[in-house]
């Protein structure tokens, strides 16, 4: 028998910090008070109001790739971010790549692969693997992660409903065009399949393979596909998750991170950037020049980086804005 005079916790009352306040039967559950911590949480919520108003009822396109797709904590944080946006009345659209997964499958099958100018050289043999991995592995995984929080996400690819039409493109290496095989750029977008899903309350998850006018399927860079879709949807923001903190003015000097750059400045320096950054920054430039208000490259290695960028004053990463926008005019 418990001696309640000596036991600091009476048998009919529990000490529990989560949830903060509730009852079990007729007994009230107590918690350890943390007014300062609670006030900080409230300050974060109220501080996000300007951005919630800004984005409410609008489309935000998120390019999902890199480390955020393979690190378990980042994967789950990304899914939570998507559900958070949708719950707040914002319409997220996910456009994903699958570079690590494609490379792993090619290695498993003994197929050699290389990159030129930041783009994967894609042969007829390779495109079959790309298509299989993106639509049959990566897309279901992303959809499943989001749907752990409710039946929200629906997967589709650029082949579905005429969403994307691609045209064969080339990479640029040292200022010269280089053939990369069945790699395409999105030249036409019919956003109807995506808008239908948004209107039905879903989160579209788009895999980036797309046919050309003759039906030949191409491997489409997810960064450029996300930009094209953002323009077609009239999105207010494009967010590109990557494996660096953003654009550096003087790499590898980590203190030279560029917080904001306008479209004119970016166009001037784009050819001089590292090959891996060119498709990402080119996508941001394409989006902004196409009417998207802001495009940001964000470090996907940081859990919840998307929310930090969208709902805090400081933001994170490198933001690309129209040439006529004043500096610091975020959100």
Residue 327 in domain = no
Residue 264 in domain = yes
For residues 260-265, average pLDDT: 96
Residue 45 in domain = no
Q: Are 300 and 100 in contact (CB under 8 A)?
A: no
CATH of the domain at 264: 3.40.1160.10
Is 99 marked as binding a ligand?
Answer: yes
Is 110 marked as binding a ligand?
Answer: no
Q: Are 158 and 194 in contact (CB under 8 A)?
A: no
Alpha-carbon distance of 316 to 297, in angstroms, equals 8
Please give the residue range of the domain that contains residue 71: 55-321
Residue 128 in domain = yes
Alpha-carbon distance of 89 to 227, in angstroms, equals 22
- State the total domains in the chain: 1
> What rounded mean pLDDT belongs to the chain?
88
Is 98 marked as binding a ligand?
Answer: yes
How many other CB atoms sit within 10 Å of the CB of residue 322? 15
- Whether residue 33 is predicted with pLDDT greater than 80 in this model: the reply is no
Predicted structure pTM score? 0.85
Q: What is the pLDDT of residues 59-108, one digit of tens each?
A: 999 999 988 998 999 999 999 999 999 999 999 999 999 998 999 999 99
Residue 18 in domain = no
Backbone angles phi, psi at 58, to 5 degrees: -120, 160
Any idea which residue has 């350890």 for tokens? Answer: 32
Instruction: Report the pLDDT value the prediction gives residue 13, as an integer from 0 to 100.
Output: 36
Residue 316 in domain = yes
Q: Are 208 and 139 in contact (CB under 8 A)?
A: no
Residue 89 in domain = yes
Q: What is the pLDDT of residues 148-167, one digit of tens each?
A: 999 999 999 999 999 999 99
Instruction: Report the pLDDT value the prediction gives residue 15, as an integer from 0 to 100.
Output: 36
Instruction: Report the pLDDT value the prediction gives residue 43, as an integer from 0 to 100.
Output: 78
How many other CB atoms sit within 10 Å of the CB of residue 10? 11
Residue 218 in domain = yes
Is 75 marked as binding a ligand?
Answer: no
Instruction: Provide, rounded to the nearest whole percent, the portion of the chain with pLDDT above 90.
Output: 69
- Whether residue 312 is predicted with pLDDT greater than 70 in this model: the reply is yes
């Amino acid at each position: 028998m418990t001696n309640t005079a000596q036991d600091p916790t009476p048998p009919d009352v529990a000490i529990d910090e989560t949830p903060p306040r509730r009852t079990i039967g007729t007994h009230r559950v107590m918690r350890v008070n943390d007014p300062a911590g609670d006030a900080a949480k409230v300050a974060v919520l109220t501080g996000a109001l300007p951005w919630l108003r800004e984005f409410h009822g609008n489309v935000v396109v998120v390019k999902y790739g890199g480390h955020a797709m393979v690190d378990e904590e980042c994967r789950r944080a990304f899914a939570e971010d998507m559900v958070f946006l949708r719950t707040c009345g914002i319409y997220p659209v996910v456009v994903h790549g699958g570079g690590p997964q494609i490379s792993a499958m090619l290695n498993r099958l003994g197929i050699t692969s290389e990159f030129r100018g930041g783009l994967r050289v894609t042969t007829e043999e390779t495109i079959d693997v790309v298509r299989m991995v993106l639509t049959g592995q990566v897309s279901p995984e992303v959809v499943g992660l989001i749907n752990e929080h409710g039946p929200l996400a629906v997967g589709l690819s650029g082949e579905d409903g005429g969403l994307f039409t691609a045209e064969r493109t080339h990479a640029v290496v040292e200022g010269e065009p280089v053939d990369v095989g069945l790699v395409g750029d999105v030249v036409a977008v019919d956003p109807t399949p995506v808008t239908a899903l948004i209107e039905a309350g879903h989160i579209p998850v788009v895999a980036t393979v797309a046919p050309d006018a003759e039906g030949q399927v191409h491997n489409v860079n997810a960064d450029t596909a996300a930009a094209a879709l953002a323009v077609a949807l009239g999105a207010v923001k494009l967010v590109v998750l990557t494996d660096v903190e953003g654009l550096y003015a003087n790499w590898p000097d980590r203190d030279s991170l560029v917080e904001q750059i306008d479209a004119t400045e970016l166009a001037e320096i784009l050819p001089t950037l590292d090959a891996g950054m060119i498709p990402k920054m080119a996508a941001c430039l394409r989006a902004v020049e196409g009417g998207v208000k802001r495009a940001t490259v964000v470090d996907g290695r940081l859990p919840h980086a998307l929310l930090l960028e969208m709902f805090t004053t400081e933001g994170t990463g490198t933001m690309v804005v129209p040439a006529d926008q004043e500096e610091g005019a975020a959100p």
